[in-house]
Structure 1
């Protein structure tokens, strides 16, 4: 099923995009001025996006879990490129809010080259090992009506990945676009697997990066709030209100584990991803955990 296409998809420079992301919005983003103190969270889909969004928002808002449970996450850190519910884009939402702005994107760094080089905006890049990412992406394709509720098998989906024709394009091209900036002082790389193993330390890393000094009791509260059990039950982050998501097929927050890929990958598939990982990710000095 390497020729699978979902309804309304279009392609910009190898990035497969949904119809609620428009070329006009992307063009506007290329010249959108990001200010000192703004925060941009950049992730490839299914790499812990929701988890990292919530973490960054809590760090910037002194761990206010009460407010976070009352306002939907997309309203707190809007996706710049998406028109939510057919309405205004995240970019348009931001223009009604006072700075500093918290914002989110699944686009490659190409769109934001001018802003990155200006060095004003703080950028938090989230990354997850590619094997678990692809398995999570497979289930996301299955449960997402916007993506046509993919009916193929895991092997079919892997062929789609090999053809570099999944949402937001090839994982490795996406990360090579962002990792070239990972050593800039206004950029922080956060690994999904580290969030699993040492969440308190990750919260401190993000806090220090953003110039926030959080007391230990606030950090402890954020850790508890970000547990998979609490996140999956929290309707402001679990995307349960998304009309296009069928959580009966597969929950949006599905397992939240490291190493689930072993239940899906053949040796040939694993070897192919390992080669791309060693050829493209490791040269940036980035090492990811696969179990």
Structure 2
């Protein structure tokens, strides 16, 4: 099924997009004025976006877990380019007072002007490509907007090989963003590190954003961000979204490292390893696969 196409898809600069992301919105984002103190979370899909968004919001709001359980995450950190419920994340954002918290799945090209201006704080989330693709496969299956993909894992991997996948190729996406990882206004956060040392990651994000959280607040955030709490929190688990069929696969599915071992063949694993070693490692980034 390497020729699979989901309903309404279109392509911009080799990047496959949904119909609820328009060229007009992308054009507006290219000139959107980001100011000092704004925070942009940039992630490829299925790399722990929701987890990282919630972490960033809590750090910026003194660990207010009560509000985070009562206000939908998309209203707190809007998904800039996506039209959800009749308006784009950018429109939601523009009603808010600065500084702004926002997230994107677009490549860095759209935000080149803002990145070069050096005002916005950028937090790039990354996850190892093998677990990312397995999670993406199940997301394709449960998402009605993506046609509830009926193919097998092997079919989906063939789709990846053709680079015809939502938001484009994983390696091309990270090549665009990781070129900026050493800028002082950019922080790279690894999904696997969030698993193994969450308190340290919270402190890293806090320091990066100029926040000084006491230990008891950090402890509260760690508890709040556990997979069990996230998966049962209706403000983050996307259970209310009618386009997602959680009976096929929950939006927050497993949250584990190494699940790819249950899917990848030796040949598929070797293909990813080759791209990882030739594209990601030369950029100075090492990821954990287990």
* Corresponding residue number in structure 2 for 1:20: 20
User: Is 1:45 matched with 2:81?
Assistant: no
Question: CA separation in 1, counterparts of 2:156 and 2:96?
Answer: 40
CA offsets 1:61-96 (integer angstroms, 9 cap, x no match): 0000000000000000001100102x1111111111
Query: SS of the residue aligned with 1:81?
Result: coil
Which residue of 1 is the match for residue 63 of structure 2?
63
Q: State the number of aligned residues.
A: 290
Aligned 1:75-114 pairs, distance under 5 A: 75-85=75-85, 87-114=86-113
Please report the TM-score for the alignment, with normalisation by the length of structure 2: 1.00
Equivalent-residue separation in structure 1 for 2:247 and 2:107 (angstroms): 31
Secondary structure of the residue aligned to 1:42 is: strand
Unaligned runs of 5+ in 1: none
Q: Provide the TM-score with structure 1 as the length reference.
A: 0.99
The residue that corresponds to 1:285 in the other structure is 284
Q: Deviations over 1:30-72 (max 9, x none)?
A: 0000000000000000000000000000000000000000000
| Separation in structure 2 between the aligned mates of residue 103 and residue 143 of structure 1, nearest angstrom | 25
Partners of 1:260 and 1:40 lie apart in 2 by 29
SS in 1 for 2:106: coil
**What is the rounded CA distance, in whole Å, between the counterparts of 2:94 and 2:206 in structure 1?**
25
- Local SS of the residue matching 1:241: coil
Structure 1 position 252 matched with structure 2 position 254: no
Output the aligned Cα RMSD: 0.3
1:228-267 superposed matches below 5 A: 228-267=227-266
Q: Distance in 2 between matches of 1:32 and 1:64?
A: 29
- Secondary structure of the 1:11 match is strand
SS in structure 2 of the partner of residue 189 of structure 1: strand
**Take 1:109 and 1:281, find their aligned partners in 2: how far apart are those partners?**
16
Q: Unaligned regions of 5+ residues in structure 2, if any?
A: none
Residues 1:216 and 2:215 are matched in the alignment: yes
Distance 2:211 2:92 in 1: 25
Taking the aligned partners of 2:62 and 2:9, their CA distance within structure 1 comes to 39
- State the secondary structure of the residue aligned to 1:91: helix
Q: Runs (4+) of structure 1 moved beyond 2 Å? A: none
Alignment correspondent of 1:5: 5
Cross-structure match for 2:179: 180
Distance 1:35 1:242 in 2: 31
Distance 1:10 1:171 in 2: 18
Q: C-alpha separation between the residues in 2 aligned to 1:82 and 1:138?
A: 20
* Mapped partners of 1:51, 1:32: distance in 2: 26
Deviation (angstroms), 1:286: 0.2
Partner of 1:137: 136
Q: 3-state DSSP class of the match of 1:275?
A: helix
SS in 1 for 2:95: coil
